[in-house]
Chains A and B, each alone.
Chain A
């Protein structure tokens, strides 16, 4: 990496739907030394969800894993999970806000909503990752992140468990990188300049 690139990225937002859980677990396991960066995971899931996802991710990493609480301060070295049945937004002061407004792409949380909000706050210091899914959610969000100068990674649709979501993103946005699911974690460590 160029010296000027050190610690360029401060936030990584990961969006996924059907067929994305396995990849998310691999990414989380790979990046556990990324103590200077915050992560947000937005996945579509049933609204009766409890803390299963947080528990599952915790088993893979030494970073703190937690479901977001309203107006919580965003801290590095933490993996935040969007709670079920709310949209997750980011404020200029690096805090979270929850929002129970209309579903977007039949989804709440919506990946687009969080990606677009994160792009406004983190601009060029943001990495957006879109994974497997059967829904158009996330494609517009990836485009917004790219347009704001952030780095974008989309899972290779051909080998994703469900190709529709990453395919949609590739059809509307110029993304920085298309990767196999198992390559994403390692690549992320490189661009985040993580030393392990």
Chain B
């Protein structure tokens, strides 16, 4: 009677694609939130000009080199420096003083996409004179995204916004001293990345790999269904030392999760929790 909205991928089609990605390549997207995945697939079909879903599926089956592309496009890689500046302000004021008492500071940025948040944190640590004893582990499942972290290069057009965010986060310096402008790009100082360890890590299938005092995972859980959210939060719990801190996105929450009882949210209600037991 009525047509399905044009360009929209059907549920059965999405199932076929997810099954193929898992069977042939080991990427498991089956517990991702489907509404977002559907949009990503529809978007990819438009950008890469597939006339039909069948053509997209054929390409995925036949062309292993297309895998990188589809993983890159199915996942959301939108991020910014000092996003939600109040979170970074709270980290400056309430978290860094605690970390300062540690002999060594291990931080994990899980699902960090192109790394803007990792550079933001490196700047915070440097300004608190803690970077020298810190290591920032930057991981994402998307190999192309993390390559950008190694380069430390971001669009110059974003710097005005980032500079404003930086000031709102309590930054007192001239933000432009952290990068060199070249053509349309801002290349961040190498000393910031000297303390970063960059690797691919898939939150769905990979295990805990170290113990951290601070874990960031912001705007990643929203792309997962409830079951996968709980699994990933448990993985973080296994990777966080006692009295360590967990930072989530502004619309993400520990409430109703299996690890909730072990954590206490900071009093200013920013999305930062401390592991109290």
Contact = CB atoms under 8 A, between A and B. Distances in A.
Interface of A: 69-71, 83, 85-86, 89-92, 97-102, 113, 116-117, 119-120, 123-124, 144, 147-149
Contact of A91 (B3, B33, B251): B33
B277 interface: no
Contacts of B226: 71
Nearest to B34: A91
B23 interface: no
Contact of A120 (B8, B40, B223, B229): B8
B11 A100 contact: no
Give the top 8 A-B pairs by smallest Cβ distance, nearest first: A149-B2, A89-B35, A97-B33, A101-B76, A144-B5, A100-B219, A98-B222, A99-B36
Interface of B: 1-6, 8, 11, 33-36, 38-40, 76, 78, 219, 221-223, 225-226, 229, 249-253
Given A70-B253, A99-B35, 5 more contacts: A86-B222, A97-B223, A98-B222, A100-B219, A120-B4
Contacts of A69: 251, 253
Given A70-B253, A91-B33, A91-B35, A148 B78 contact: no
The listed residue with most A CB atoms (<10 A of its CB), out of B6, B219, B222, B225, is: B222
B18 to A, nearest CB: 15
Contact of B2 (A71, A86, A97, A123): A123
Contacts of B78: 100-102
A148 B39 contact: no
B221 A70 contact: yes
Nearest to A116: B5
B72 to A, nearest CB: 13
Contacts of B249: 100
A102 B80 CA distance: 12
Given A91-B33, A116-B8, A99 B2 contact: no
Given A71-B225, A91-B35, A113-B39, A98 B251 contact: yes
A97 B35 contact: yes
A70 B252 contact: yes
Contacts of A113: 39
B2 A147 contact: yes
Given A91-B34, A102-B78, A86 B251 contact: yes
A97 B5 contact: no
Contacts of B1: 149
Contact of B4 (A91, A101, A148): A148
Q: Which of B1, B5, B219 has the most CB of A within 10 A?
A: B5
B117 to A, nearest CB: 12
Contact of B76 (A91, A99, A148): A99
Given A97-B33, A100-B249, A92 B2 contact: no
B33 A89 contact: yes
Nearest to A144: B5
A102 B6 CA distance: 21
Contacts of B2: 123-124, 147-149
Contacts of A85: 250
Nearest to B35: A89
